[in-house]
Chain A
């Protein structure tokens, strides 16, 4: 184990998988000579050369299609989007080409491709650069969607995503790149898709959160323990499709209360799907309506004070937990 940053964990995952399998290659804007807009591909061009670390022009839809074609030849492309907000330009390629080719061809073609890049808000990047669009991708049959919150999870899940035979949408927390965690150095450190992890055990209320809001939830849990004596269990689905619903249900059946936190917008969000799963399968276990904490239902503002207000804050989670516990 070594204490390394989320950014470094992703770099390790890429490097290890590229060493292991010559079919794996990275393609995206500024991934080569510039070593990545967020330096995730640091040193990779030097080690693997220009045919395995491909710089491409500003053409998200085009290089997404190229990646799909390369996957159909039998390669394992990793496509980097400078941010997931830019991937909006590529969504036709992700949804209509990558996600559907296996199905539409009657199983003739597999598409082992990983789409990755930073997601969510950073510091004052405003409305077009700060979006958490995981619900869009999780909606699509044919895509797997991963959103790790820690360096350890980022490494183990990215390695698994690259080895997976299906298209994987891998959303990195833009604000998490510098956060550190104990990460195994083992080349075979793989975390399975579709397995949630209890990040903090508790008995009074379940808080479900992925990506950056996981850390928000953990801070809120400390406050609630300290100030209210409420024992919060925090669970991170880590992959949003496939979703480990059973682990969430197990927790809710023990705590009988649930709050779901996400950075994305409220309407048709990831949390809405989890609420649906819980009400169908654990309705009788609930002691209170499920609460959700989401990004504000507006484009992300630029002004620092507004930006802070627009994203889930620990105090919002604290308030929501007190509400489902009928306190305060």
Chain B
């Protein structure tokens, strides 16, 4: 099963998302105005944030207009521009927990409507199921009759109370969303089950890695010893407890083994304890929090990359590790088996014994010198996941979505009540009606014609690009004039 799925992932990596329909062909080549909504964006750091940023950059390169909407981070409020005219709205909404905003279903409506109207948005693309703002935006966009896309970045359980509740919310939020994107086939299965979706409207588009930033450099390695690199947040989900079991066991067997651990989190204490107990201060180095630009510098010092995650939708870290030419050892959980071809990764069960056995074989291989060179590993990985490919496939999703109709209110209510159960369905149908009435009130209170349309920074009429090309041709004369 796993093998088949993995094989499918690779053949899909270069293929279209799904068979293009007649509508897709008709709308292909059209330029969209896309609004990316998520609670998570820079200056916060993480996978979702860089995904949104890099995907937006590639879509702008393809001539679409992209706007990002997120909540205010401290003093960073209002409107900002990033590279290539990527416009970011930092809306002043209250942050509740873990950088996610509160949701009341209504209070974010006036500002989001303002953004959608003044930017002439055609597609609303929300990211991450942890983000309340993303769900709010989906809800309002559907009320306003805009096409919606949702990208899920994480895996979820089914058993405990919190996941039961989140899954119900996800069902409500996604039952009338036009299209859903997942980052791996495991994640797709998970999302389809959690939200009771039709698998037809769920596409798989993996993440990508900036391979230019992750090039191997064997000269940085110290070949007298073998270095294992671990880069992850030091939290329970990333299996740091497993790591604390592996370190003493392997360090006793191999005196030339060194660990290099980058990242910060509550589980750092566990690792420090282990280091203290077994007197491994010279062999286990804890680097603390790393900035993204420093990650490569750490990766190239190692021979083996170790990932001990307990759950993972799509592991970017192992691709980055492989891209730097390291041997990758990882747990066989979530979407990880799909990510890399079999000969580039050693998969183990998420137990200390299995991971130790896996590491032993790789260490033995490393000693005998029978591993492929970093350059050849890099060459194989670099074409597997590129942002351009991700952008192309996302573009196809937009083309398809734009050909679909947004459900009018009566059919949306029927869909909510049939898909989400009698109780939750009725409650959310009521909320949808209220949202619609609120929209009518806002349209009366502040009509669309009173909102000034924003000047496009990116897209077909983007001022940024014209200016850039102009300044390129006129640069000398302009400088002379000043």
Asked if A and B are interacting partners, one says no
B interface list, Cβ under 8 A from A: none
